[in-house]
Amino acid sequence: MASELNIHICIDVLSADELTQQEREAMSLAQQAANDAYAPYSNFLVGAALVLEDNSMFKGNNQENAAYPSGLCAERTALFALSANHPNKKIKLIAVTARRRSEQHFLPAMPCGACRQVMAEYEYKQGEPILVLLQGPEDKFYRLRSVADLLPFQFTKEHL
């Protein structure tokens, strides 16, 4: 009989007052970053904030381009800029949020596949899990304990 492999993914569903103070600050920084996104084509504003091992924070937002594929998502903008400027700082958490330019409220933010792959690269590199905090529906937040929970069966350096 064929065997099956089951993957268990745990997502904490939390209200704002159930987040730690630092998580609330990270989400607030991600929201500020979203407000500054350069997204004149989609008008979909995405912000990402990273909490580093020394508890400092670093942010990024989506950067669009008239040549559409030349743009970049918020998560990768933040991660690449961090890695370029502080190549050895470990990341404790990434917070992601989004909103439409025409509306003030923030929307559930689900990182695209390419951003999950990039997050997985840095998690593998640092050898310690990166928590993922996502704006969820209805004023809730989703907290995942590792990028591996966002991207099971990931392709890493080990597979080369």
Q: Which span (1-9, 72-80, 131-139, 149-157) binds ligand THU, by CB under 6 A?
A: 72-80
Q: Which is nearer to ligand THU, 28 or 42 (CB)?
A: 42
- Check residue 42 for interaction with ligand THU (CB under 6 A): yes
Binding flag, residue 74, ligand THU (CB under 6 A): yes
Clarify whether 75 is annotated catalytic.
yes
**Dihedral (Cα; 122, 152, 146, 121), 10-degree rounding:** 0
Coil, helix or strand for 149? Answer: helix
What distance in Å separates the CA atoms of residue 66 and residue 21, rounded to the nearest whole number?
39
DSSP 47-116: EEEEEETTS-EEEEE-B--SSGGG-B-HHHHHHHHHHHH-TT--EEEEEEEEEETT-SS-B-----HHHH
Structure tokens at 35: 């407000």
**Which of 64, 130, 135, 144 forms a contact with ligand THU (CB under 6 A)?**
64
Indicate the residue among 23 and 75 with the shorter CB distance to ligand THU: 75
Regarding 117 and contact with ligand THU (CB under 6 A), the answer is no
Please report how close the Cβ of residue 63 comes to ligand THU at its closest, in angstroms: 7
Q: How far is the CB of 10 from ligand THU (least distance, A)?
A: 21
Does residue 23 bind ligand THU (CB under 6 A)?
Answer: no
Q: Are 142 and 15 in contact (CB under 8 A)?
A: no
Catalytic residues: 75
The footprint of ligand THU (CB under 6 A) covers: 39, 42, 44, 46, 62, 64, 71, 73-75, 111-112, 115
